[in-house]
Amino acid sequence: MAASLAAIMAVASCGGKGEKAPGGADPTKADKAAEAGAGKAEEKQAADAKPSLWASDPFPSTYAPYPSGTTVIRGATVLTGAGERIENGTVVLADGKIASVGGADVAVPSGAAIVEAKGKWVTPGVIDVHSHLGDYPSPQTESTSDGNEATAPNTAQVWAEHSVWPQDAGFTRALAGGITSLQILPGSANLFGGRSAILKNVPARTVQGMKFPGAPYGVKMACGENPKRVYGEKGGPSTRMANFAGYRAAWIEAADYKKKWEKYWEEKADWDKKNGDKKKPSKKGDDNGKEPEAPTRDLKLETLAMALNGDITVNMHCYRGDEMALVLDMAKEFGYKVQTFHHAVEAYKVADFLAERGVCAAVWADWWGFKLEAYDAIRENAALVDAQANSCAIIHSDDEYGIQRLNQQAGLAMADGNKMGLKIAPERAIKWITAHPAKALRIDGETGTLEPGKMADVVVWNGNPFSVYAKAEKVYVDGALLFDSKDPRRSPRMDFEIGQRSAGFTGGAGQ
Amino acid sequence: MTMNHSSLKLLTASLAAAAASIAVAGAQTIAIQNARVYTMAGAATDPTGGGVNNADVIIRDGVIAGVGQDLPAPPGATVINAQGRVVTPGLFAPWSQIGLVEIGLDDEANDSSTEDDFALSAGLDATDAFNPSSTLIPINRAGGVTRAASAPEPGAKMFGGQGAIVDLSGAPGSINRAQALQSVAMGAAGAGYNGGTRLGAWASLRDALDEARAYAANPGSYLMRPREGGLSIIDLKALGPVARGAQPLVVYLNSATDIRALIKLKAQYGVNAIVLGGTEAHLVARELAAANIPVILNSFLNLPSQFENLAATQTNAARLAAAGVTIAFYDPPSGAHNLRLLPQLAGNAVANGLSYGAALAALTINPARIYGVADRYGSLEIGKAGDVVIWDGDPLEVSTRPIAVLIDGRITSLKNRQTMLRDRYKDLSRGDLPHAYRGAN
B19 pLDDT above the threshold of 60: no
Based on the fold, state whether residues B310 and B410 are members of the same structural domain: no
Based on the fold, state whether residues B73 and B135 are members of the same structural domain: no
Q: What is the distance between the alpha carbons of residues A360 and A435, in angstroms, rounded to a whole number?
A: 12
Digit-coded pLDDT (tens) for B293-314 = 999 999 999 999 999 999 999 9
A62 pLDDT above the threshold of 80: yes
- Residues A331-345 have a mean pLDDT of 98
Instruction: Give the distance from residue A366's alpha carbon to the nearest chain B alpha carbon, in angstroms.
Output: 8
| 3-class state of residue A70 by DSSP | coil
Based on the fold, state whether residues B150 and B116 are members of the same structural domain: yes
Based on the fold, state whether residues B55 and B164 are members of the same structural domain: no
List all residues 6 or more positions away from B44 whose beta carbon is below 8 Å from its beta carbon: none
Inter-chain touch B398–A169, beta carbons under 8 Å? no
Report if residue B27 sits inside a domain.
yes
Q: What's the confidence (pLDDT) of residue B81?
A: 97
Residue of A nearest to B282 (CA): A502
With beta carbons less than 8 A apart as the criterion, state whether A432 and A452 touch.
Answer: no
Chain A contact set for B302 (CB, 8 A): 173, 401, 404, 511
Digit-coded pLDDT (tens) for A354-370 = 999 999 999 999 999 99
Q: Is A371 on the interface with B (CB under 8 A)?
A: yes
Report if residue B354 sits inside a domain.
yes
Confidence class for position A389, pLDDT limits 50, 70, 90 = very high
Q: What is the distance between the alpha carbons of residues A483 and A175, in angstroms, rounded to a whole number?
A: 7
Q: Is A415 on the interface with B (CB under 8 A)?
A: yes
| DSSP code at position A341 | E
Report if residue B177 sits inside a domain.
yes
Based on the fold, state whether residues B180 and B108 are members of the same structural domain: yes
Report if residue B335 sits inside a domain.
yes
Pick from B333, B397, B425: which is nearest to A467 by CB? Answer: B397
Report if residue B218 sits inside a domain.
yes
Q: What's the confidence (pLDDT) of residue B220?
A: 85
Report if residue B438 sits inside a domain.
no
Based on the fold, state whether residues B43 and B181 are members of the same structural domain: no
Inter-chain touch B305–A138, beta carbons under 8 Å? yes
Interface mutation target, options B134, B392, B399, chain A, most CBs of A under 10 Å: B399
Angstrom distances, CA of residue B435 to CA of A326, B265, B421, B427: 19, 59, 10, 9
Inter-chain touch B426–A384, beta carbons under 8 Å? yes
Q: What's the confidence (pLDDT) of residue B152?
A: 97
Strands A71-79 and B410-411: unpaired
Q: Which of residues 457-486 of A touch B (CB under 8 A)?
A: 466-471
- Residues A420-446 have a mean pLDDT of 98
Q: What's the confidence (pLDDT) of residue A1?
A: 32
Confidence class for position B409, pLDDT limits 50, 70, 90 = very high
Average pLDDT taken over every residue of chain A: 89
Q: What's the confidence (pLDDT) of residue A202?
A: 98
Based on the fold, state whether residues B77 and B210 are members of the same structural domain: no
Q: Is A432 on the interface with B (CB under 8 A)?
A: no
Interface mutation target, options A348, A375, A385, A501, chain B, most CBs of B under 10 Å: A375
Confidence class for position B11, pLDDT limits 50, 70, 90 = low
List all residues 6 or more positions away from A413 whose beta carbon is below 8 Å from its beta carbon: A363, A365, A366, A379, A380, A381, A382, A383, A395, A429, A432
Q: What's the confidence (pLDDT) of residue A31?
A: 37
Based on the fold, state whether residues B133 and B76 are members of the same structural domain: no
With beta carbons less than 8 A apart as the criterion, state whether A313 and A339 touch.
Answer: yes
Q: What is the distance between the alpha carbons of residues A500 and A496, in angstroms, rounded to a whole number?
A: 8
Pick from B303, B344, B398: which is nearest to A400 by CB? Answer: B303
Digit-coded pLDDT (tens) for A286-327 = 566 899 999 999 999 999 999 999 999 999 999 999 999 999
Pick from A375, A412, A511: which is nearest to B313 by CB? Answer: A511
Report if residue B439 sits inside a domain.
no
Pick from B136, B302, B350: which is nearest to A511 by CB? Answer: B302
Inter-chain touch B418–A378, beta carbons under 8 Å? yes
| 3-class state of residue A382 by DSSP | helix
Cis peptide before A51 (omega within 30 of 0): no
Chain A contact set for B401 (CB, 8 A): 415-416, 419
List all residues 6 or more positions away from A301 whose beta carbon is below 8 Å from its beta carbon: A156, A253, A254, A257
* Type of residue found at A475: V
CATH code of B411's domain = 2.30.40.10
Based on the fold, state whether residues B286 and B411 are members of the same structural domain: no
| 3-class state of residue A123 by DSSP | strand
Confidence class for position B259, pLDDT limits 50, 70, 90 = very high
A466 pLDDT above the threshold of 60: yes
- Residues B346-353 have a mean pLDDT of 98
Distance of CA B98 to the CA centre of its chain: 9
Inter-chain touch A138–B400, beta carbons under 8 Å? no
Instruction: Give the distance from residue A387's alpha carbon to the nearest chain B alpha carbon, in angstroms.
Output: 10
Q: Is A352 on the interface with B (CB under 8 A)?
A: yes
Instruction: Give the distance from residue B107's alpha carbon to the nearest chain A alpha carbon, in angstroms.
Output: 10
**Which comes out higher in pLDDT, residue A156 or A27?**
A156
Domains and their CATH numbers in chain A: 2-62+126-243+298-447 (3.20.20.140)
Residues in chain B: 441
- Residues A460-468 have a mean pLDDT of 98
Average pLDDT taken over every residue of chain B: 92
Residue of A nearest to B417 (CA): A376
Based on the fold, state whether residues B28 and B162 are members of the same structural domain: no
List all residues 6 or more positions away from A323 whose beta carbon is below 8 Å from its beta carbon: A223, A224, A240
Report if residue B427 sits inside a domain.
no
Inter-chain touch A471–B351, beta carbons under 8 Å? yes
Residue B39 zone, left/alpha/beta (φ > 0; ψ -120 to 50; rest): alpha
Based on the fold, state whether residues B290 and B190 are members of the same structural domain: yes
Strand partners, B87: B37, B390
Which range of residues forms the domain containing residue B259?
102-377
With beta carbons less than 8 A apart as the criterion, state whether A183 and A242 touch.
Answer: no
Inter-chain touch A170–B419, beta carbons under 8 Å? no
CATH code of B307's domain = 3.20.20.140
B441 pLDDT above the threshold of 80: no
Number of H helices, E strands in chain B: 13, 16
Interface mutation target, options A320, A349, A378, chain B, most CBs of B under 10 Å: A378
Inter-chain touch B425–A348, beta carbons under 8 Å? yes
CB pairs under 8 A between A and B: 137
Pick from A140, A352, A415: which is nearest to B306 by CB? Answer: A140
Q: Is A368 on the interface with B (CB under 8 A)?
A: yes
Q: Is A43 exposed, middle or buried (0-12, 13-18, 19+ CB in 10 A)?
A: middle
Q: What's the confidence (pLDDT) of residue B290?
A: 98
Pick from A139, A368, A399: which is nearest to B304 by CB? Answer: A139
List all residues 6 or more positions away from A172 whose beta carbon is below 8 Å from its beta carbon: A203, A491, A492, A493, A494, A508, A509
Inter-chain touch B312–A511, beta carbons under 8 Å? yes
Q: How many domains does chain B have?
A: 2
Chain B contact set for A503 (CB, 8 A): 304, 310-311
Chain B contact set for A141 (CB, 8 A): 306
Residue of B nearest to A416 (CA): B399
Q: Is A345 on the interface with B (CB under 8 A)?
A: no
Q: What's the confidence (pLDDT) of residue A390?
A: 97
Q: How many CB atoms lie within 10 A of CB A315?
A: 30
Residue of B nearest to A137 (CA): B305
Chain B contact set for A470 (CB, 8 A): 351
Q: What is the distance between the alpha carbons of residues A361 and B351, in angstroms, rounded to a whole number?
A: 30
Based on the fold, state whether residues B10 and B122 are members of the same structural domain: no
Inter-chain touch B105–A229, beta carbons under 8 Å? yes
